[in-house]
Amino acid sequence: MVKYSFCPYCQGELSSKENYYQCISCKKKVFIPSFPGVSIFPIKDGKVLLAKRGEEPRKGLWDSIGGFLKEGEEPTICAKRETKEETGLEIKLGDLLGIYTDSYEYEGQVYETLNLYYLAEIIGGKIKAEDDVSELVW
């Protein structure tokens, strides 16, 4: 759970409950959201494109292409944007493989995530590891 210390309404001290915080001063509840993200599996000749993480968290580990949605961004738009940013490739989204929850630890905080996993077909671009990716392999 994300750790908060102060109420966003009155700046009073927060008391930690099981799935939320409650302000000691104004008694309002502060709910902890799940952070939405997408993972994309571009397919070529029966192989899946994977990315080696170039930054923390989990630097050096293999991962799917993907990332977090910007505020108000549609998941399908995010999937195309993240693929372009990380690989240089343009994609056509295929099937939604599933929706799963996970935890994402970053700089001592643990964020609960809600992830949408897609298959994708490559329709353009030139493959190159970019953004927070250090290497790409099929």
Enumerate the active-site residues.
135
Backbone angles phi, psi at 59, to 5 degrees: -55, 135
CA-based torsion, 91, 102, 63, 53: positive or negative? positive
**Separation between Cα atoms, residue 22 and residue 14, nearest integer Å:** 5
Task: Dig out the tokens for 83 from the structure.
Answer: 């693929």
Q: First CA to last CA across the chain, in angstroms?
A: 35
**Residue 79 DSSP SS3:** helix
